[in-house]
Structure 1
């Protein structure tokens, strides 16, 4: 029976997370995606800024992590069941092309309570100017008010990114058989280049399974 591979795709807003996840899913027969943007807490549970008349969507507490954990469990079991059925049908067990893979995409994955589940961590980065250029072209529901990006979105991205960088430094000072690792990827690279790298990273990881 194949062991499930879980790939986290996180990082900056509008960095290319969903695009990469969707393209990777097309390459793997037994795979699925969880988009955590669809699993936030009810709006009345989010922090509210009365000046902007808007809720804060960019902190760890925005997401319903218990619900996300349940979705991970359900998706994982479905993928493993599909893998078993296909293995019996085709009489094979270890072909990498049919390895079950769960892709999870969204901001703050590696700052969250589910960080430990990931086999591969991919983190998109952008500079502030490019990030804002992309974000202001996107339509949000509810509509994002002027000032939100500067007050919450960008500062919180930098805060959580710094938290991860410090986590890596602390881990590197420890002796561990499996060092904590995050692959930082520039979001302004061509998506096909990033896709090629990510797919190679998955294959390399599977060879060590």
Structure 2
């Protein structure tokens, strides 16, 4: 009985207190992630490597068409270059509903492959940081937040999808949605609820299998 009571108390303490406090601070994890990121993405930042296959054969032309349409003052909702015309607005891979690439298209009329690749890497790191914030809210040790972010950004799930930009973005927005939903419930916050709705809408508009699984 003594051992049982002692074990219960220890487990209770681990669950509620020992992972909280200074050990759950985000600063050390963010600092180490900031050191790791340039090293891990340097092959792409340096231009030595590019994200291959569908990222270049399919998604890059979509993003460039979007940007060139804005630059010319044309509507990006319809493409005259596919057969007799193609409704871009009906294509889930047109990037029309991606805030990130929509902003890029508005700012740069001729986005280069390196810019598109770099923005994808930035979004992946953004998703990792949001996952760290969610884990910090669970009051886990900062080491757990760092490991989770590294696994999320450079683990198998992200790596094998890297050429499929739409799926990558759906995966990136998942921890953002988790963070917003968690804070909506924990803080009973209307602002966080609105943000959660917007993020979930963005995931749904991705209309790929990752979005549906999310």
Q: Same fold (TM over 0.5)?
A: no
Q: Looking at CA atoms only, which structure, 1 or 2, has the larger radius of gyration?
A: 2
- Which one scores higher on RCO, CA 8 angstroms, separation ≥ 6? 1
- What TM-score, normalized to structure 1? 0.30
Say which structure is richer in strand.
Answer: 1
